[in-house]
Amino acid sequence: MEIRKASRKDAGNLAALFNHVEDSGYMLFNPGERKATAKQMEKQLEQIEKNPPSIVLVSASGNELNGYLILLGNQMGRTRHSAKIVIGIHEMDRGKGIGTKLFQKMEEHARTNEIRRLELSVIANNALALSLYRKMGFEKEGVKRESLFFDGKYHDEYFLSKLL
C-alpha cells in the first residue's frame, strides 16, 4: 500500500471509491444521494490543483484505491492557516491503519504549506471514525445538535479540530 497524491488518471477509481464510501451511511449524504462520476472527479482534482494548500491523497494497492483524504486549504487572508478535511476508507479496509497513514502524510503537507488548524466534522455515532480522529490528536469543539435526519431519527454532528 502506498500513500500518494491523487492524479487525474485516478479520477475513475476515485469516483467509484467516493460512491462506495458514501453508500456506507457514515457520510453526510444518504446512500445513493450523490453519485460521483469520473468526469466530475477529474474536474474536482483540477480545481484542487489550482489551490496550492489543498491536496487529495489516496491509499493505493496497485491500481486499486482503498482510501482518500482531501485537505481543502483556504485562500482568505485571515483563515489561510486553516483547512478542512474529508476522509473516506473502503469498508473492507477500515481499521487497518490506512486512515492513520493518510493523516500522517496530510500533516506533512499541511506543515509545508503553513497550515496550522485542521477541521473536520463527523456523525456523532461513527465510533470508528471518532477513535481515529482522537488517536490523531483531534479534539471536539462543538456539537451541531440534530443536524442530520436518517434511519427515522435525528443525529448530532461533531465538529473537531487539531492545531499543528
pLDDT at res. 76:
84
Distance between CA atoms of 69 and 88, rounded to whole angstroms? 7
Judge whether 99 and 130 are in contact, CB under 8 Å: no
Judge whether 74 and 108 are in contact, CB under 8 Å: no
List, for the chain, all residue ranges whose pLDDT scores fall below the cut of 50: none
pLDDT at res. 107:
98
Identity (one letter) of the amino acid at 38?
A
pLDDT at res. 23:
78
pLDDT at res. 43:
94
pLDDT at res. 74:
87
pLDDT at res. 34:
76
Alpha-carbon distances, residue 130 vs 10, 62, 86, 106, 115 (angstroms): 28, 29, 13, 18, 22
pLDDT at res. 29:
74
pLDDT at res. 90:
94
Q: What is the largest distance, in Å, between two alpha-carbon atoms of the chain?
A: 44
Q: What is the pLDDT of residues 40-62, one digit of tens each?
A: 999 999 999 999 899 999 999 88
pLDDT at res. 17:
94
Spell out where 15-138 has E strands: 55-61, 64-73, 82-89, 117-123
